[in-house]
A = this chain, B = another copy of it.
Amino acid sequence: MELLNNFSQIEIESPSDKIIRQIKGLISSGQLNPGDKLPSERKLCDKLGVGRTHLRDALKKLEFYGILKTLPQSGTVVAGIGIPALEGLISDMLSLHNHDFKSLVETRIILESQAARLAARNRTVDDLIELDNALLAHQKKVEDDQSAVEEDLLFHVKIAEASHNSVLKSLMLIITPDIMSYFNQHNICSDGKSAKAVEQHQAVVKYIEANDEDGAVRAVTDHLSDIIDYVNGIT
């Protein structure tokens, strides 16, 4: 079955991504500048040789990333962030969700440990109750020998909520699916570690409750050290 490893994921570039790449070209060649109003959608389709639906998809993506701003019944303008940064942002958004696992885990640890720090600083009594509930739910599943990845994940989300930093929570949620899909693809289920995980979770909560910022960071780092080791192993 080792033959399967000789095949790699086929790169399929969606039509809208192709268009984004072309628009990037228009910017590089100076035909499009920050602050400019784009040509009308119809003229652009014509010029790029694609359907309006696809062009619209591309524009929507670019707007989501803050690169464009669409004014209803009026036109679409390029945000004033300057060409070099603009190009960087575009090439970057094309490769989002296609990150290497090491970067993903490294970043996850950064986000989670700092979330724990903020949680230790800002947590309310309500947050502690929520954390305890998540902890108990996780513990119960583990004791019943059921799959607890869901409850595990939810505990980490609760920490992010206790940090009272909405951006940090959002970013964590953004990278979570990527990490999980990698886990599923490579069957890194980390069985048998569940009981240990529960203990480590308890430690994290303890430090957050005591407002011990450095302790919380340390506890989270310890908890995730297994994954760190794994990542460093594959490099």
Q: Taking beta carbons and an 8 Å cutoff, which residues of A are in contact with B?
A: 57, 60, 64-67, 79, 81-82, 84-85, 88-89, 92-93, 95-97, 99-100, 103-104, 106-107, 110-111, 114, 118, 150, 153-154, 157, 164-171, 173-178, 180-181
Q: Do A153 and B81 contact each other (CB < 8 Å), given the known contacts A57-B60, A88-B173?
A: yes
A149 → chain B closest CB, angstroms: 8
Q: Establish whether residues B60 and A166, one from each chain, have CB atoms under 8 Å apart when the complex forms.
A: no
Q: Are B175 and A167 in contact (CB under 8 A)?
A: yes
Q: How far apart sit A171 and B153, CA to CA, in the bound complex (Å)?
A: 20
Q: Which residues of B contact A111 (CB under 8 A)?
A: 110
Which chain B residues lie closer than 8 Å to A157 at the CB level? 85, 88
Q: What is the minimal beta-carbon distance from A183 to any residue of chain B, in angstroms?
A: 12
Question: Do the beta carbons of A180 and B81 come within 8 Å of each other?
Answer: yes
Residue from A95, A106, A118, A167 whose CB has the most chain B CB atoms within 10 Å: A167
- Most B CB contacts (10 A, CB to CB) among A67, A81, A171, A175 go to A171
A154 touches B85 (CB 8 A): yes
> Is B104 touching A177 in the complex (CB atoms < 8 A)?
no
A92: chain B residues at CB < 8 Å are 166, 169-170, 173
CA distance A174 to B57 in the complex (A): 19
User: When the two chains form their complex, are residues B81 and A150 in contact, meaning their CB atoms are under 8 A apart?
Assistant: yes
Instruction: Please determine whether A170 and B96 come into contact, CB atoms closer than 8 angstroms.
Output: yes
Kindly state the separation between the CA atoms of A166 and B100 in the bound complex, as whole angstroms. 8
A167 touches B65 (CB 8 A): no
- A166 CA to B165 CA in the complex, in Å? 23
Please determine whether A95 and B150 come into contact, CB atoms closer than 8 angstroms. no
Beta-carbon contact of A171 and B81 below 8 Å? no
CA distance A57 to B59 in the complex (A): 12
A154 contacts B103, C-beta separation under 8 Å: no
Name 22 interchain pairs, CB-CB below 8 A, sorted by A.
A57-B60, A65-B173, A65-B174, A66-B177, A79-B177, A81-B177, A82-B154, A85-B150, A85-B154, A88-B154, A92-B169, A93-B170, A95-B166, A99-B166, A99-B167, A99-B170, A103-B165, A104-B167, A106-B168, A107-B168, A114-B114, A171-B171
